[in-house]
């Protein structure tokens, strides 16, 4: 009615203030917030009392704040992750990532599988870098068993691993642009990926979850079709990469949305455990292939590249530089590849002596490591994988406050997490 | 496509034996650790590229702080924090892997945790990135990290009531033995709609299904 | 939303000569006869010449109105020269020249199935690969992967379904308006796949929602997914899907309590 004025009731205010304090202290579950706009009940807080300090911090709304749920299904293509974003208007004030929507229990399954079957279980973890997922367990199991793979097997391993890195990085470029609304680069990314993946299917039989590495080598030798496709690919890859990056690198919108966004300092990155291209884009020259060389990397000539800036654009440029570095590495590998066997003669079910082994590789997302304990039996006693995306995701609540909600996805895409690895 | 039928060339034996000598420089690390932490560490071991220290869980923050801040040791990067369960009645173990520019070996710190009352100080004050590792160790094993500001489940739902990676949490040996076996109608032939099956396209299916049901 | 156009009175008896019904061949697959018997009889059976009747009744001065059936029954299709396809259904000229509005609607639905962006894990990458340039699913009309379930027709469950994700996925399914179909892509959604013994994987998405097409593979090749989608198109055209169309369920909930937006 016109002329109606509501006078706030001081007792009501007092009670509300007390309730707020009790809620903040965790003594009382928060009440559901009623929204008048939507016409139905919209809940602002979780329906159970917050369990931890940090949860209380995130789910307590100050004046003018709102919780937005970027649920497990959202148009960004990183997989199933849920971000509960606390916004004031359009500006993000806090983020709580909720993981576990793809947790498949791979570590537990591997404790019940033989050492060779473990290779099939670790493939779908970081499904864009399956070769790296298998490389680390292969090295760890070889350390446990006390053997080395033949030289040619090591060269083939390095070759497929670098090919995997190339297509993973070109997909990242595509996803970064896709999360900002550009459709073309992802098409280019998938064209590049399809070409490499056809090559890898010629050598391993599978397009995606390769199951290629074995304890003591690789499963199949490189055949004529593989080398023919590799030659064709090498002849035009530089042009393809240049074409893919030219679409976005100097694009005004892309630059406005990535330069200065999500700046991560080197010190923060080290403290948070970020690794790989994300860490090197913040200026820290930590590359596992250089720091703790494995396989044939001591014989290859390359440098750890870094970018000084530490923002999304630097992470993007870092990946382009790494694609070029990988192409250079592939050239060296193909030149130097020796002849010989590709798999050591190991029994079908290996029983390493009791012991512990730790093996780390450089995956396209960072430091990917495996800690394996053997008790002398056919199954690993403990098989632990450390996934780089899992640890890098901790940077998001640190970086995002202060940015707009639309930049959340852009910055996340520049970190290039893959939920299969995050959730194991 | 790959020629899957080509016989694998023989590798001649079990492959080359790994060279088990520690790399030059790891010895210096071992000596340094022995000097500094003689009383703290209960065991020290080295392999080709890893040096391992065993300590009691309650002193992990002390040890890791010195490892990180000391100029000669300079283990500035926490590569991994994992938990191992040795069985009911034995113990838990929290294993940290550290990296340093100055030493050519990984440093592994194994901290014992009592299994019946699993508490260990949290290292999130040293490395913020340990938060998710500790949440995962709590979720999967049930180890409580004192001082962690956000110790809640990360993989399983918040109302999940078990710790899956413990040794006494068993997976079913055979999917058919699991408590949910046969729930899916496709796993029970008596529920198949045989009017949709054509003898030409899928020979034998109807006979087999009727024989079974 | 009732199917079919307005009822039209047609001079049917004068247009076509009476025909004998098609004899059931001895080698006819059991499926076709089962389907023929399973389909509901059309309302216009009374206006079509019954088997055995030689000729139409003499035409009166006022043409009797003939009711167009809701669904194209088998006899009707055979009358129009459609032949039975060995895998079920009919093919013939009517595929190209639809004369019934419901066939038109089925064709429209089949050729513009809009999938929901519900890529969970590795199969999602192969689904994206199917959607991009080399294996282009746009030629089947499935280019727009809608982000909102309200605008999507088919839910391609691509990737492992875990117990934590099952709730949100079923909620997405319930939010999709009818008619809707579900494609279980990959072995993880078909039966749990390589995670058969896991403690947190739902052993097949058909434990939580009705599935129309199962596409096996780990992950299925893009060609395999396209094959699955083409089979789905056939299902749509023949109305053989799991989800019955045009079932009135009454008022639906717009949102659920406990939603965190």
Read off the pLDDT of residues B24-79 as tens digits, 9 standing for 90 and up. Answer: 556 777 777 777 777 666 666 666 678 888 888 898 998 999 899 988 888 999 99
Cβ distance of C260 and A46 shorter than 8 Å:
yes
CA A53 to chain centre: 27
Q: Check whether A227 has a pLDDT greater than 90.
A: yes
B-C Cβ pairs (cutoff 8 Å, strict)? 49
**The pLDDT value given to residue B5:** 37
Contact map slice: B 154-193 vs C, CB within 8 A: 155-157, 164, 169, 171-173, 175, 178, 180, 183-186
Cβ distance of C30 and B186 shorter than 8 Å:
no
Instruction: Check if CATH label 3.40.630.10 holds for domain B22-155.
Output: no
Give me the interface pTM, i.e. the ipTM.
Answer: 0.85
Q: Higher model confidence: residue B208 or residue C256?
A: B208
Highest-scoring range by mean pLDDT, A60-74, A280-294, C190-204: A280-294
Cβ distance of A394 and B132 shorter than 8 Å:
yes
Cross-chain CB nearest to C200 (options B156, B175, B195): B156
Highest-scoring range by mean pLDDT, A172-181, A227-236, B53-62: A227-236
* Buried-state track A135-169, b at ≥16 Cβ within 10 A, e below 16: bbbbbbbbbbbebbbbbbbbbbbbbbbbbbbbbbb
Please tell me whether residue A342 adopts helix, strand or coil conformation.
Answer: coil
Report the alpha-carbon angle B38-B43-B46, nearest 5: 105
* Integer angstrom CA distances of residue A73 from A78, A102, B99, B108: 10, 12, 37, 39
Name the band, by pLDDT with cuts 50, 70 and 90, for residue C25.
very low
Report, in angstroms and rounded to the nearest whole number, the Rg of chain A calculated over CA atoms.
25
The full set of domains in chain A, from first to last, is 50-103 (no CATH), 106-393 (1.10.645.10)
Q: Check whether A202 has a pLDDT greater than 90.
A: yes
* Whether A164 contacts A170, CB under 8 Å: no
Which residues, at least 6 apart from C61, have a Cβ–Cβ distance to it below 8 Å?
Answer: none
**The pLDDT value given to residue C41:** 42
Cβ distance of C207 and B183 shorter than 8 Å:
yes
What would the two tokens of residue A386 be?
């450390």
Cβ distance of C29 and B201 shorter than 8 Å:
yes
Distance CA C207, CA C47 (A): 44
Measured over the CA atoms of residue A180, residue A181, residue A185 and residue A189, the dihedral's sign is: positive
* Whether A327 contacts A174, CB under 8 Å: no
Nearest by Cα to A323 from A392, A242, A246: A242
Cβ distance of C134 and A190 shorter than 8 Å:
yes
What would the two tokens of residue C194 be?
């390589």
Residues of chain A contacting residue B104, judged by C-beta atoms under 8 Å apart: 292
DSSP single-letter state for residue C203: S
Q: Is A368 on the interface with B (CB under 8 A)?
A: no
Query: Nearest-CA residue of chain A relative to C199?
Result: A105
Cβ distance of A105 and C199 shorter than 8 Å:
yes
Query: Nearest-CA residue of chain B relative to C36?
Result: B195
Please report, for chain B, the start and end positions of each structural domain, with discontinuous segments joined by +. Answer: 22-155, 187-213
Q: Check whether A92 has a pLDDT greater than 50.
A: yes
Contact map slice: C 177-196 vs B, CB within 8 A: 191-192, 196
Cβ distance of A43 and C254 shorter than 8 Å:
no
Distance CA A248, CA B11 (A): 48
Distance CA C175, CA C247 (A): 15
Sheet-wide strand order for C154-158: C115-116, C154-158, C181-185, C213-215
Closest CA of chain C from B159, distance in Å: 11
Which residues, at least 6 apart from B89, have a Cβ–Cβ distance to it below 8 Å?
Answer: B115
- Ramachandran assignment for A35, one of left (phi > 0), alpha (psi -120 to 50 degrees), beta (any other): beta
Distance CA B85, CA A214 (A): 27
**The pLDDT value given to residue A112:** 87
* Whether A137 contacts A123, CB under 8 Å: no
What would the two tokens of residue A93 be?
């004030």
Q: Check whether C42 has a pLDDT greater than 50.
A: no
Tens of pLDDT, residues B108-119: 999 999 988 889
What would the two tokens of residue A208 be?
């995606």
Cross-chain CB nearest to B171 (options A108, A346, A394): A108
| Claim: this prediction has a pTM higher than 0.80 | no
Name the band, by pLDDT with cuts 50, 70 and 90, for residue B168.
confident
- Range from A236-250, B97-111, B173-187, C87-101 carrying the lowest mean pLDDT: B173-187
Which residues, at least 6 apart from A198, have a Cβ–Cβ distance to it below 8 Å?
Answer: A207, A229
Nearest by Cα to C109 from C214, C226, C234, C209: C234
């Amino acid at each position: 009615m016109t002329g109606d004025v509501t006078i706030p009731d001081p007792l009501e205010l007092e009670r509300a203030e007390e309730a707020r304090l009790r809620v903040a202290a965790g003594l009382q579950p928060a009440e559901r917030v009623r929204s008048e706009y939507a016409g139905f009940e919209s809940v602002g807080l979780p329906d159970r009392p917050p369990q931890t300090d940090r949860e209380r911090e995130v789910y307590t709304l100050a004046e003018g704040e709102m919780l937005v749920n970027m649920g497990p299904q959202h148009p960004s293509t990183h997989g199933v992750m849920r971000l509960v974003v606390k916004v004031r208007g359009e500006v993000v004030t806090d983020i709580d990532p909720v993981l576990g929507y793809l947790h498949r229990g791979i570590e537990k399954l591997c404790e019940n599988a033989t050492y060779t079957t473990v290779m099939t279980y670790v493939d779908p973890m970081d499904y864009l870098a399956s070769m790296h997922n298998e490389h680390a367990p292969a090295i760890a199991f070889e350390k446990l068993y006390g053997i080395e793979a033949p030289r040619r097997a090591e060269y083939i391993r390095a070759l497929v691993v670098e090919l995997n890195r190339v297509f993973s990085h070109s997909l990242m470029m595509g996803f970064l642009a896709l999360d900002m609304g550009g459709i073309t680069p992802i098409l280019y990314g998938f064209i590049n990926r399809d070409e490499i993946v056809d090559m890898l299917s010629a050598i391993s039989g599978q397009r995606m979850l390769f199951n290629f590495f074995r304890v003591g080598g690789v499963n199949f030798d490189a055949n004529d079709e593989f080398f023919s496709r590799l030659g064709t690919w090498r002849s035009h890859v530089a042009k393809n990469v240049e074409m893919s990056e030219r679409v976005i690198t100097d694009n005004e919108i892309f630059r406005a949305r990535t330069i200065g966004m999500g700046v991560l300092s080197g010190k923060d990155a080290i403290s948070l455990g970020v690794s790989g291209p994300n860490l090197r884009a913040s200026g820290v020259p930590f590359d596992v292939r250089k720091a703790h060389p494995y396989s044939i990397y001591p014989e290859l000539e390359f440098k750890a590249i870094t970018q000084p800036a530490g923002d999304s654009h630097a992470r993007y440029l870092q990946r382009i530089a790494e694609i070029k570095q990988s192409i250079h590495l592939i050239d060296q590998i193909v030149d130097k590849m020796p002849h010989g066997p590709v798999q050591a003669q190991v029994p079908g079910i290996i029983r390493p002596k009791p012991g512990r082994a730790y093996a780390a590789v450089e995956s396209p997302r960072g430091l990917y490591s495996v800690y394996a304990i053997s008790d002398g039996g056919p199954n690993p006693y403990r098989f632990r994988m450390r996934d780089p995306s899992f640890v890098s995701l901790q940077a998001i609540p640190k970086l995002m406050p202060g940015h707009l909600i639309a930049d959340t996805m852009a910055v996340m895409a520049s970190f290039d997490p893959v939920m299969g690895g995050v959730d194991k | 496509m790959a020629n899957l039928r080509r016989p694998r060339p023989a590798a001649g034996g079990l492959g080359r034996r790994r060279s088990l000598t520690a790399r030059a420089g790891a010895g210096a690390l071992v000596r340094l650790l022995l000097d500094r932490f003689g009383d703290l560490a209960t065991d020290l071991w080295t392999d080709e590229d890893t040096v391992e220290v065993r300590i009691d869980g309650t002193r992990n923050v002390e040890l890791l702080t010195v490892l990180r801040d000391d100029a000669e040791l300079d283990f500035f990067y926490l590569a991994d924090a994992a938990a191992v369960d040795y069985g009911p009645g034995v113990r838990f173990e929290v294993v940290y892997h550290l990296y340093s520019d100055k030493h050519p070996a990984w440093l592994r710190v194994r901290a014992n945790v009592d299994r019946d009352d699993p508490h260990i100080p949290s290292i999130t004050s040293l490395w913020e990135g340990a938060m998710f590792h500790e949440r995962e160790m709590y979720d999967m094993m049930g180890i409580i990290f004192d001082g962690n500001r956000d110790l809640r489940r990360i993989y399983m739902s918040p109302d999940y009531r078990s710790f899956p990676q413990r040794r006494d949490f068993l997976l079913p040996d055979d999917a058919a033995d699991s408590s949910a076996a046969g729930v899916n109608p496709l796993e029970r032939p008596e529920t198949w709609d045989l009017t949709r099956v054509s003898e030409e396209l899928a020979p034998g299916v109807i006979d087999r299904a009727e024989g079974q049901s | 939303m009732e199917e079919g156009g307005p009822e039209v009175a047609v001079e049917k008896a004068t247009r076509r000569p009476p025909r004998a019904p098609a004899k059931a061949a001895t080698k006819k697959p059991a499926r076709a006869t089962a389907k023929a018997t399973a389909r509901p009889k059309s309302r216009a059976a009374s206006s079509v010449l019954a088997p055995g009747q030689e000729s139409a009744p003499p035409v009166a001065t006022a043409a009797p109105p003939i009711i167009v059936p809701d669904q194209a029954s088998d006899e009707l299709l055979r009358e129009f020269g459609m032949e039975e396809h060995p895998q079920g259904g009919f093919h013939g000229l009517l595929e190209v020249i639809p004369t019934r509005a419901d066939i038109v609607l089925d064709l429209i639905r089949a050729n513009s199935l809009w999938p929901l962006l519900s890529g969970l894990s590795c199969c999602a990458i192969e689904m994206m690969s199917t959607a991009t340039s080399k294996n282009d699913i746009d030629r089947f009309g499935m280019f727009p992967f809608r982000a909102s379930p309200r605008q999507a027709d088919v839910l391609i469950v691509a990737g492992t379904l875990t117990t934590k994700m099952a709730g949100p996925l079923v909620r997405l399914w319930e939010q999709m308006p009818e008619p809707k179909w579900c494609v279980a892509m990959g072995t993880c959604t078909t039966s749990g796949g390589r995670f058969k013994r896991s403690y947190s994987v739902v052993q097949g998405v058909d434990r939580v929602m009705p599935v129309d097409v199962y596409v096996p593979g780990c992950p299925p090749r893009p060609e395999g997914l396209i094959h699955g989608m083409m089979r789905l198109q056939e299902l749509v055209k023949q109305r053989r899907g799991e989800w019955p169309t045009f079932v009135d369920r009454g008022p639906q909930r717009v949102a659920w309590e406990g939603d965190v937006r």
